[in-house]
Amino acid sequence: MKTSKNGVLRLINSEGQILYEYDDGSGYPTISVGVRTDIRDLSKYFVRKDVNKITLSRVKPIIHVDNTVNTITEEQSLDIFKKTLPVYEGYIDEFVTVELKQNQYDMLVSLVYNIGANNFRNSSLLRNLNKGIELSKLEPNWKVWNKAKDKSGKLVVNKGLTLRRAREWKVFINGY
C-alpha cells in the first residue's frame, strides 16, 4: 500500500514545509517536510544564504558562524519529501501484520513519520494493533505520543502534538 494523496497532503500540513535548516525543537537539524538532516545527507541540495536575506517562518533557523543558513527551493523540498516518504511506508509494511484501510495506513505513516520507527516498533499501539484489539480501544495508545523534549531534555506534553494526534486519530478511526 502507498500513502494516498489525501494522506500526503495531511502529512505535509501537519509537518509543515520549511525551506531552510532549523532546529525541530528537540535539538535535531531539520529541513523540508520534517526531514532530519543529521540522518540523511542533503548537502547537495543546500545553498547557503545570508540569514537577513531570507523569509523566516515560524521556526528559528540554524545559523552558521558566517551568518548564513542552509536553504532549499520548494521543488527540492518536494523531491526530498518524495524520497523520504517511502522509507516510512516501508516501516508500516514491515511492522503492521493486520490488514489496514487506506485512512488507517495514511495516519500510521503520519504517526511514524513524526515519532520514528524505533518508537513505533516498541509501542503498545503496534503490539495491540497487531493483536487485533478492537480499534476504538487503541486511542490511549495513539494519543500518548503527544510529548516532546523541552530545553532541558525532559519529555513534556506538547500542545501541537496533542492536536496532531487528535486529528490523526479521528481520521484513523472514522476515515476521510
Kindly report the average pLDDT of the chain as a whole number: 95
Active site residue 15: yes
pLDDT tens figures, 158-172: 999 999 999 999 999
Cβ contact 21:37 at 8 Å: yes
Question: Coil, strand or helix: which one is 155?
Answer: strand
For residue 93, with 0-12 CB atoms within 10 Å meaning exposed, 13-18 middle and 19 or more buried, which class applies?
A: middle
Between helices 159-174 and 5-15, what is the axis angle to 10°?
170
CA distance 25 to 42: 20
pTM score of the predicted model = 0.92
pLDDT-based confidence at 89, cuts 50/70/90? very high
Rounded to 10 degrees, what is the CA torsion of 120, 123, 127, 133? -100
- The catalytically annotated residue of 21, 24, 41, 79 is 24
Active site residue 21: no
Whether residue 34 has pLDDT greater than 90: yes
Structural domains of the chain in order of their starting residue, each with its CATH number: 5-174 (1.10.530.40)
Half-sphere exposure of residue 107: CA atoms within 13 angstroms, side-chain side = 22
- The catalytically annotated residue of 15, 21, 89, 106 is 15
